[in-house]
Amino acid sequence: MPTHGQHNIKNTHYDQFLTNISVSYTDTQNFIGEQVVPIVEVQKQSDKYMVFDYQDHMVADDDIRRAPGTVASEMRTGWSEDAYYAEGYAKRYALYDEEIANADEDAIFNLKEMAAKQVKAKLLLNKEINTANLMTNQNNFHKDLRVSVGESATADLIKWSDYENSDPMKDVFKLREKVERLGGMDMNTLVLSKPVYNILKFHPKLKSTLAGFTSPEMVSDEAIKQLLGVDNLIVANARRATSNQRRVGQGGMTNYIWGNNAVLMYLPKGAARDIPAAAYTYQWTNPQANVVGNQKTREYYSEDSKTLWIETEEWYGQKITSDLGAIVLPDIVNPLT
């Protein structure tokens, strides 16, 4: 891709309307990163963050009565040893003079709107990759929750694509109980890459459990949630392409960003720095950019290239906030063929 110099730039300004378009565009059909690792807006680019690995609330005191003139017994939560750092991410889209000259006033705005959405989609793709790398790395979580997956009884879990020998329901309930005994939160969410989701839809053990009520050709999403005891089922459908695959249908197959993995995790109903969660995205609002929104969109014109640029930027850092907040089931299926 050609790049252009930054000199001879004019009419640079942040645009609140284009920023609103960028912020509201989420493409939830593909990208789940902001669902799985929720956003918490922060005022500082770098700071300590709360971690939720203390369980003082579960410690049964012999006596918490307070005598007159004495202080209450202490309990606390923890703070991280390191700090999040909200790195900057940016992408821009080129609208050439020739395109703008051939468009009427409404079409020019539509071009800008399309450009803002295209740029936001690229930022979402990048965030999806970062989120998947964070949440599918077993080393980010408690050592006692690192399970092995294979095709024999020597593994902790049998691959769910082995329809004869695997038992997804038993696996999930066993892992959930283990987390609870370690002091973790109730695992209420199952994140499935699309290949894992496809396998579970046809799993005979799930279908046979439903057989007394229905005779399904495939298992519904609601049934999967009920049978596996989770409140949230999140399917990761996002794929990534190489530079050789820029044109649809050329250059071979794309790859699912979340691989063949599943993640059993705790996801809070709301996001805040003091609400327990497996992980958070600390998104810096950057007050120096004078528009409101997690992402900031600006436009500027380059004299050298005769190009109007639509650029969106954001700043965030992602951190695991509880090493008991998730269990990674790595390569849990062989995909359908």
Whether the per-residue pLDDT at 211 is higher than 90: the answer is no
Token readout for 230 is 């989770």
d(CA 162, CA 166): 6
d(CA 92, CA 120): 9
pLDDT, mean of residues 16-31: 76
For residue 286, what pLDDT band results from cuts at 50, 70 and 90? Answer: confident
pLDDT, mean of residues 278-285: 95
For residue 247, what pLDDT band results from cuts at 50, 70 and 90? Answer: confident
Q: In the chain, pLDDT over 70 holds for what percent of residues?
A: 86
Domains with residue ranges and CATH for the chain: 9-50+81-243+252-329 (3.90.1690.10)
- Model pTM score: 0.85
Read off the DSSP letter of residue 90.
E
For residue 104, what pLDDT band results from cuts at 50, 70 and 90? Answer: confident
Whose tokens are 């987390």? That residue is 179
Helices assigned H by DSSP within the chain? 16-24, 33-36, 97-101, 105-135, 168-181, 194-201, 204-210, 221-228
User: What distance lies between CA 81 and its chain's CA centroid?
Assistant: 23
d(CA 307, CA 175): 55
Q: In the chain, pLDDT over 90 holds for what percent of residues?
A: 59
Length of the chain: 337
Whether the per-residue pLDDT at 8 is higher than 60: the answer is no
pLDDT tens readout for residues 106-145: 888 888 889 999 999 999 999 999 999 999 999 999 999 9
d(CA 49, CA 84): 7
Contact at 8 Å (CB) between 244 and 257? no
Q: Cα Rg for the chain, rounded, in angstroms?
A: 24
Whether the per-residue pLDDT at 47 is higher than 80: the answer is yes
pLDDT tens readout for residues 298-307: 899 998 889 9
For residue 251, what pLDDT band results from cuts at 50, 70 and 90? Answer: confident
Contacts of 199 (CB under 8 A, 6+ apart): 160, 161, 333, 335, 336
pLDDT tens readout for residues 76-103: 567 888 999 999 999 999 999 998 888 8
d(CA 113, CA 101): 17
For residue 70, what pLDDT band results from cuts at 50, 70 and 90? Answer: low
Least confident of 37-46, 50-59, 158-167, 202-211: 50-59
> 272 φ, ψ to 5°?
-165, 160
The pLDDT value given to residue 259 = 97
The pLDDT value given to residue 64 = 65
Mean of the per-residue pLDDT values of the chain: 87
The pLDDT value given to residue 243 = 79
3-class SS letters over 9-76 = EEEEEECHHHHHHHHHCCCCCCCCHHHHCCEEEECCCEECCEECCCCHHHCCCCCCCCCCCCCCCCCC
DSSP output for 163-178: TTT--HHHHHHHHHHH
Whether the per-residue pLDDT at 58 is higher than 50: the answer is no
Give me the amino acid identity at 254: T
pLDDT, mean of residues 36-61: 79
